[in-house]
């Protein structure tokens, strides 16, 4: 470790319990027998924190959670060694159900909305983030927002975190408005990038040109995850493409969160965003190898890192 920074803070405003169930073949409108089940804690900000801890990084998670289920969620965070500071609001921690078909390996997701927030609670949360993220060189903002949060909530949070290098992994309006706060890095997937710009991006050059739109807005780095197509990094003076690694797929849930964790691990080791890109690709692929929402096994990440092939575009 080079010890580049002291702490990473991840923001998770809408945590969950992720319940994964396996069926032989999902048939709509019929009785489906569950063959296996497991429950993990979820929410993209928590997922990133779990990946960071499993890759040996120091981090903390700041978030919002409903009262119902809060004790169980805190216990699960403790088990992963993740310090957490959460604003508790009326309601319950949401439950997201992932139905995995053993026949097709496709995942059907049924996601609850989560406990709602009002303006007063949002103001209190912003104050909590400013206090707990103070001194963090990197702050990761990712995941869905609770009902009641206005558009531009992530932009508002980043503006309150003056001086921190922010990483934004969001789609839709939160990506567009969040870019106005000039984050250090954005990590949309290809679908989010196409939807935000209203463009169909069919070539690597087109994807690069789309990413450059955000660099011209003041974003410093863009990483686009493209599933089986691989991933792309676009910086001010360099564009890199990495083909997807060939791995045995367990579940793609959480692969983008693992990529963010891997990128930060790479920044710690390499001190350079372009070189850190390899780490992000390896972490994303390692996550795909796990079942359900288990995220990442460090040994898988280590074995894949040397297999990442990067080329300039």
Would you state the structure tokens that stand for residue 83, as one six-digit string? 């310090």
Contact at 8 Å (CB) between 47 and 258?
Answer: yes
**Kindly report the CA angle at 282 between 280 and 283, in degrees rounded to 5?**
65
Query: What amino acid positions are annotated as catalytic residues?
Result: 257
Contact at 8 Å (CB) between 222 and 233?
Answer: yes
Contact at 8 Å (CB) between 13 and 44?
Answer: no
Phi, psi (rounded to 5 degrees) for 246 = -85, 105
**Which residue from 135, 197, 192 is spatially nearest to 5, judged by alpha carbons?**
135
Within 10 A of 129 (CB to CB), how many other CB atoms are there? Answer: 25
């Amino acid at each position: 470790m080079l010890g580049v920074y002291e702490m990473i803070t991840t923001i998770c405003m809408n945590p969950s319990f992720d319940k994964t169930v396996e069926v032989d073949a999902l048939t709509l409108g019929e009785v489906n027998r569950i063959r296996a089940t497991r429950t993990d804690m979820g929410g993209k900000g928590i997922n990133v924190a779990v990946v960071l801890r499993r890759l040996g990084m120091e981090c903390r998670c700041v978030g919002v959670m409903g009262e119902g289920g809060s004790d169980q969620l805190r216990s699960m965070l403790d088990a992963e060694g993740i310090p957490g500071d959460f604003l508790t609001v009326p309601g319950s921690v949401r439950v997201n159900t992932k139905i995995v078909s053993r026949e097709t390996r496709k995942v059907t997701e049924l996601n609850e909305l989560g406990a709602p927030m009002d303006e007063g609670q949002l103001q209190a949360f912003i104050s909590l983030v400013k206090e707990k993220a103070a001194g963090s060189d990197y702050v990761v903002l990712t995941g869905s927002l609770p009902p009641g949060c206005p558009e531009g909530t992530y932009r508002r949070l980043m503006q309150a975190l003056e001086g921190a290098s922010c990483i934004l992994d969001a789609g839709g309006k939160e990506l567009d408005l969040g870019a106005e706060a000039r984050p250090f890095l954005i990590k949309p997937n290809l679908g989010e990038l196409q939807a935000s710009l209203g463009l169909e991006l069919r070539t690597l050059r087109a994807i690069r040109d789309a990413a450059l739109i955000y660099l011209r807005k003041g974003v410093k780095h863009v990483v686009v995850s493209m599933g089986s197509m691989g991933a792309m990094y676009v910086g001010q003076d360099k564009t890199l493409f990495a083909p997807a690694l060939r791995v045995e797929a367990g579940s793609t849930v959480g692969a983008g969160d693992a990529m963010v964790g891997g990128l930060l691990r790479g920044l710690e080791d390499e001190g350079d965003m372009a070189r850190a890109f390899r780490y992000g690709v390896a972490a994303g692929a390692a996550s795909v190898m796990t079942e359900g929402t288990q995220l990442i096994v460090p040994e898988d990440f280590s074995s894949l890192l040397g297999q990442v092939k990067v080329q300039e575009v």
